[in-house]
């Protein structure tokens, strides 16, 4: 059993001028469903949300076209199951309809002690770090994953 959970942030730059742009309507109309699906998924721990129960009003990059998501999962496998094996995968397949290509890393993951809730600032710092450095045990992405620190300790023994 791990003493760590997986935190993740992902950002996307919308094709619309902001979240209320008509091009974003279908995405927005399904946001509550997709967020509820995440919350009911095995391994889900927490997600960042505002007064409207999502994070679309949060704007750490001072850019109305960028939306963010921050969440915590028990492990990489449960996050990937939600991303690729649920209705959420339909939105991944269609992301080009709503979002522009983002040149830098748009997803960052890192291990946190169980019970820790990452701040928005912490998540943005992790993504910024990954955008400037290679994936490492500090912060990584879906292509370059690193095991939980407790698994590393187990292997070292």
**Can you give the pLDDT of all 157 residues of the chain as single tens digits?**
689 999 999 999 999 999 999 999 999 999 999 999 999 999 999 999 988 888 888 999 999 999 999 999 999 999 999 999 999 999 999 999 999 987 788 999 999 999 999 999 999 999 999 999 999 999 999 999 999 997 655 444 4
Reported pTM: 0.92
Query: SS3 of 107, please?
Result: strand
Joined tokens for residue 43: 């391994």
Sign of the alpha-carbon dihedral angle for 93, 98, 87, 116: positive
Length of the chain: 157
- Long-range (24+ apart) CB contacts under 8 A made by 129-132 are 130/105, 131/104, 131/105
> Domain ranges in the chain?
4-156
Fold of 4-156: Alpha-Beta Plaits (3.30.70)
Q: β-pairing, 44-47 with 66-73?
A: antiparallel
CA distance 10 to 3: 23
């Amino acid at each position: 059993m791990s003493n760590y959970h997986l935190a993740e942030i992902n950002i996307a730059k919308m094709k619309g001028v902001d979240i209320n742009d008509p091009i974003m309507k279908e995405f927005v109309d399904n946001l509550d469903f997709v967020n509820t699906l995440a919350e009911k998924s095995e391994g889900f721990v927490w997600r960042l949300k505002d007064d409207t129960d999502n994070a679309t009003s949060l704007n750490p990059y001072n850019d109305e076209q960028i939306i963010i998501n921050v969440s915590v999962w028990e492990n990489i496998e449960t996050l990937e199951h939600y991303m690729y094996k649920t209705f959420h995968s339909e939105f991944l397949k269609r992301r080009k309809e709503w979002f522009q290509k983002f040149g830098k890393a748009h997803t960052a993951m890192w291990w946190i002690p169980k019970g820790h809730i990452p701040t928005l600032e912490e998540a943005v710092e992790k993504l910024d770090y990954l955008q400037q450095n290679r994936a490492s045990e500090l912060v990584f992405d879906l292509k370059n994953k690193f095991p939980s620190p407790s698994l590393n300790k187990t292997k070292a023994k």
